[in-house]
Homo-oligomer: A and B are copies of this chain.
Amino acid sequence: MPDVILAPRNKEEVAQVVQVCAENKIPIVPRGSGTNLSAGTSPSNGGAVLLFKNMNRILELDEENLTVTVQPGVITKTLIDYVEGESLFYPPDPSSLKISTIGGNISENSGGLRGLKYGVTKDYVLGLEAVLPNGKIIRTGGKLAKDVAGYDLTSLLVGSEGTLAVITEATLRLIPKPSYKETILAMFKTLEDAAETVSAILAARIIPTTLEFMDQGTIQVMEDYKQIGLPTDCEAVLLIEQDGAIETVVKDIERIYQICSNYGAIDVQKAETEEEAEDLRSARRDALSALARLRPTTILEDATVPRSKIAPMVREITRIAEKYNVTIRTFGHAGDGNLHPTCLTDIRDKEEMERVEQAFEEIFYASIDLGGTITGEHGVGEMKAPYLEWKIGKAGIQVMTAIKEVLDPHNIMNPGKVFAKSTKERLVMANV
């Protein structure tokens, strides 16, 4: 629990709060809607939680420069709907978009289902206004496609999880809204068939908007939940979408359909209407809700590997789940290697929770050994801090902590996040 909750109305009030907190060494935890999945917005050291419900306005849509300037408290979906009403497009679409805020998305560098083709939040942040730990206000970047005036502080703040500054305003890049979209769902007997299909699509020099994956365990639960007719004996399902100009989309989807068949898809369904497309999408979008019904506690992770390593990674996750006798189902973004191994467990069962923790440790370990990372889009927060050094090494940790300490010498900005008191010891595992 925080000691105090504050909802400032403008950057000056944020600056005043930060100044008081700096003088009194009070922790500050900026928090959007609290949808973060790595305990990044938990006030675990007490102090002041900053809410942005009074700073939730879209300040300006600049159609000439294709930018939108917003306060941090704007709900992601509100922004997306607003710009789409003007035939513009803000691609980052984290699953939490109906409740998450843009400020939170920026702090976490949120990803989403459209990342393969369109990138993630950092690819759309052109400029920031932020309050530094010393209470001073900086402005980085601007309505500028090109700006190399000094170090890229915009990118340093994006994804810094509230540990370096409080973001008070953001200027975001927009692109034209794609005019057309098609959706298919392909089922595969084996994981390897699905993985080879992903590779073959990209080898054909097609970058789909969406290239989503569900494993057998997730398919079974989905089918049990919704009876949408998924064959429960197949090891993998791919949800594939392409958007853009109609001629290109039609051609791409035809080619993708062909590739799915060539690489052993046992069934490929193509949506003929937007309603059918929504049905196919829901097969993937409702995966977490379906899984969450199984046990009292759901732990959603985001181990990420180069996309060529999807199949070996899913095999590893299955092996690890069996080893520790825990239930892990995997879905995620096959196109960009961003998997969501999801553990269904019970937080009240201490013995089981220990096994869950060990299993996830081994999963992080495996993803790093496959050239991946401990987090693709959820952030390090508190939960993954003990594993950060596994990815970035001692020298990397030293650089990051040096930056943190010099900019926030009293450690008031979201303390306890990103950096752990100690790094987890890596166990030796022969078969990875």
Alpha-carbon gap, A183 to B11, bound state (A):
46
Which of A229-237, A349-357, A388-396 lies at the binding interface? Answer: A388-396
Does A152 touch B at the CB level, under 8 Å? yes
> What 0/1 pattern do residues 126 to 161 of A give for CB contact below 8 A with B?
000000100011111011111111111101101110
Alpha-carbon gap, A418 to B152, bound state (A):
12
Alpha-carbon gap, A399 to B149, bound state (A):
13
> What 0/1 pattern do residues 113 to 125 of A give for CB contact below 8 A with B?
0011001101100
Taking a contact as CB atoms under 8 Å apart, the answer to whether B147 and A373 are in contact is: yes
Q: Of A122, A137, A403, which is in contact with the most chain B CB atoms at under 10 Å from its CB?
A: A403
With A142-B373, A248-B247, A380-B150 in contact, is A64–B155 under 8 Å at CB?
A: no
Does A5 touch B at the CB level, under 8 Å? no
Smallest CB separation, A113 vs chain B (Å): 12
**Which residues from B are CB-within-8-Å of A374?**
149
Smallest CB separation, A415 vs chain B (Å): 16
Taking a contact as CB atoms under 8 Å apart, the answer to whether B156 and A151 are in contact is: yes
**Which residues from B are CB-within-8-Å of A306?**
62, 64-65, 142-144
Taking a contact as CB atoms under 8 Å apart, the answer to whether A115 and B146 are in contact is: yes
Contact partner of A109 (CB less than 8 A), chosen from B152, B153, B373, B388, is: B152
With A65-B308, A66-B202, A148-B376 in contact, is A392–B138 under 8 Å at CB?
A: yes
Smallest CB separation, A182 vs chain B (Å): 15
With A160-B151, A406-B402 in contact, is A145–B116 under 8 Å at CB?
A: yes
Alpha-carbon gap, A232 to B402, bound state (A):
57
With A64-B202, A245-B248 in contact, is A418–B150 under 8 Å at CB?
A: yes
Contacting B at CB under 8 A, from A240-256, are: 244-245, 247-248, 251
With A155-B155, A406-B403 in contact, is A336–B203 under 8 Å at CB?
A: no
Smallest CB separation, A11 vs chain B (Å): 13
Alpha-carbon gap, A203 to B160, bound state (A):
34
**Which residues from B are CB-within-8-Å of A63?**
203
Contact partner of A388 (CB less than 8 A), chosen from B116, B149, B333, is: B149
Write the chain B residue with the least CB distance to A244: B248
Binding site for B on A (CB under 8 A): 62-66, 87-88, 108-109, 111, 115-116, 119-120, 122-123, 132, 136-140, 142-153, 155-156, 158-160, 164, 175-177, 199, 202-203, 205-207, 244-245, 247-248, 251, 304-308, 333, 335-338, 371-380, 384, 388, 391-393, 395-400, 402-403, 405-407, 418
14 contacts between A and B (CB under 8 A): A66-B202, A120-B145, A138-B396, A140-B396, A146-B304, A146-B337, A148-B376, A148-B380, A151-B403, A152-B159, A153-B399, A244-B248, A403-B403, A403-B406
